[in-house]
Amino acid sequence: MGWKNPWYNPLLAHHRPQGFANFEPGQHGPGDARRWHRERREQKLPAPPQGGYAQFIENWWQPADLSHQGDGVWWLGHAALMLRLNGITLLTDPVFSRRASPFSFYGPERKTPVALDLSCPEALPDAVVISHNHYDHLDSRTLRRLRHRCAEMQIFVPLGLKRWFVQRGMKNVFELDWWQSVRWRGLTLTCVPARHWSMRTPWDRNRSLWCGWVIESDNQRFWFSGDTAWMPELLEIPRRVGPLDAAALPIGAYAPRWFMSTHHIDPQNAVRLWQGIGRPLAVPIHWGVFELADESLDAPVFELNAALRNAGEEGTRFSPIKIGEFIRLDKK
């Protein structure tokens, strides 16, 4: 007898008896993944960044300086952020291992150093926020290190992921469905939709949910979008939770678009999304660490800047920052 979704609610459009689904179905055929991998090998993609990897690190990386005070956010590379609101520190999708993979010898390899020194007490979070279970967003090695250093940290996950954490000795877990909220230490965290998918083994595809998170204090409303492709429902988020003061929006892992557009948002659609949610202060994420798709490590930067120019949005509050850089979040 096959696996049945224990959270299944027939009244919710993203629920299925066998798991979860997007509002918009994917459009890939059974041979598309093989075609992409074949073309990737034949074209020897991705190409190195301009000037090579050492130059990329010099241009786009710095160690996180934790001496900054007040509300703010450090981008730590890919989808990892350290967000501080009201003196509370939250880490999003921390992946500080050498590979985004279940294997130490195979899989996407880190191309830039880890920006956060976990041996520093100031680096230890009060909470960890997870968007979904892919290996570039959920890393057991990093979470083991965090558990050993701060065993009481709170963890927020989408539906279906709590069991994974409990099995690894992490008991303080809130598990939410889309549009559910929880109040914790003066913050409100709301699980919001994303267009993506989940899988950690060949046997568990879409058995756990994927999401973004809106994290709200008395002074700030911050949207961590997680991993998402474009969908009109993303524009519903500020309409339902309220105007956004800041956001972390993905811009990488989009090439080739014929294959990646149902998985990841590209810089052009990231600008479209940013405009549609009211042009908040925005941190471009999901680039600069792992070569998950066919574009070069630095291509998202060039494409984002071009997309902003083409949209008449130069000099905006949506600009690439260095890995490890801090942005202050001003009070309302």
Count CB atoms within 10 A of the CB of residue 255: 23
For the segment 136-149, the average pLDDT, to the nearest whole number, is: 96
Tell me the pLDDT tens digit for each residue of 273-296.
999 999 999 999 999 999 999 999
Distance CA 46, CA 40 (A): 8
Sign of torsion over alpha carbons 246, 56, 145, 210: positive
pLDDT at 1 (0 to 100):
61
- Secondary structure tally for the chain: helices H, strands E: 8, 15
- In this predicted structure, the answer to whether residue 50 has a pLDDT above a threshold of 90 is yes
CA distance 48 to 51: 8
Q: How does pLDDT run across 61-117, given as a tens digit for each residue? A: 999 999 999 999 999 999 999 999 999 999 999 999 999 999 989 999 999 999 999
Give the amino acid at 197: W
Q: Which long-range contacts (CB under 8 A, 24 or more apart) does 182-185 make?
A: 182/156, 184/127, 184/154, 185/88, 185/126
* pLDDT score at 29: 80
Residue-level pLDDT at 25: 78
Q: What is the mean pLDDT of the chain?
A: 96
- Domains in the chain and their CATH numbers? 55-313+322-328 (3.60.15.10)
Q: Is the dihedral of CA 225, 96, 59, 253 positive or negative?
A: negative
pLDDT band at 332 (very low <50, low <70, confident <90, very high): low
Query: How would residue 183 be classed by pLDDT, with cut points 50, 70 and 90?
Result: very high
